[in-house]
Chains A and B, each alone.
Chain A
Amino acid sequence: MSDTTVDELFAPLPKAHQHYRALDEQIWDGRLDPALLEVCRVRIAMLHRCAPQLALQRADIGDKRGAIAQWPTSPLFNEVERAVLRFTEQYVIDAQGVSDADAAGVTAVLSGPAIADFTIAIGAFDAICRFTLALDH
């Protein structure tokens, strides 16, 4: 993976960098479908207009990559992807505004362990975009 921007930004904090990498490896180790993670990661990068993260490809999602902004209506996205993208968008734009319906949408399509993994993953993706945008200028 080419993620040099994050590596450069973490350079002054080698211990934190090491632990971030360990977390990132676990997020992507297959405990949750990498393609599902990737649509969320790309959507988060789009919402933040985070060019370094948009340039990355962490998993193959085919034509979905170019259609993520149209996820509510695009036939490329299934019920699971729509539920996690709905939650992800609300989390990024206004976490306090995540509704019971948003949460219920996720619990309807993911198991408890998968929801735990998904929640930590989108938290990390969101944080890395904010961190990158604040410091990479």
Chain B
Amino acid sequence: MRIAPPDGGMSLFDYDPELFAAFNTLYGTLWTDGAVDQATKEVGRLRNANLVDCGI
């Protein structure tokens, strides 16, 4: 990991949990809200991860 998390944290974003929570609220809403089913969104997510070679 290039940038270590803070003590007790799991990722870089634990340095600012308030902002990370705002990001996750939006991200979660994009998954659970709207007219497109989650399986279709997952196909898009996986294709995006594949294109940018993101193993996470």
Interface residues of A (CB under 8 A from B): 12-13, 15-16, 19-20, 22-23, 26-27, 31, 95-96, 100, 103-104, 107, 112-113, 115-117, 119-120, 123-124
B53 touches A96 (CB 8 A): yes
Q: Which chain A residues lie closer than 8 Å to B16 at the CB level? A: 31, 113, 116-117, 120
Interface residues of B (CB under 8 A from A): 2-4, 6, 12-16, 18-20, 22-23, 25-26, 29-30, 33-34, 52-54
Q: How far is the CA of A22 from the CA of B3 in the complex (A)?
A: 26
Q: Which chain B residues lie closer than 8 Å to A107 at the CB level? A: 2-3
Name the prevailing secondary structure of the A interface residues.
helix
> Which single member of B12, B15, B19, B33 contacts A26 (CB below 8 Å)?
B19
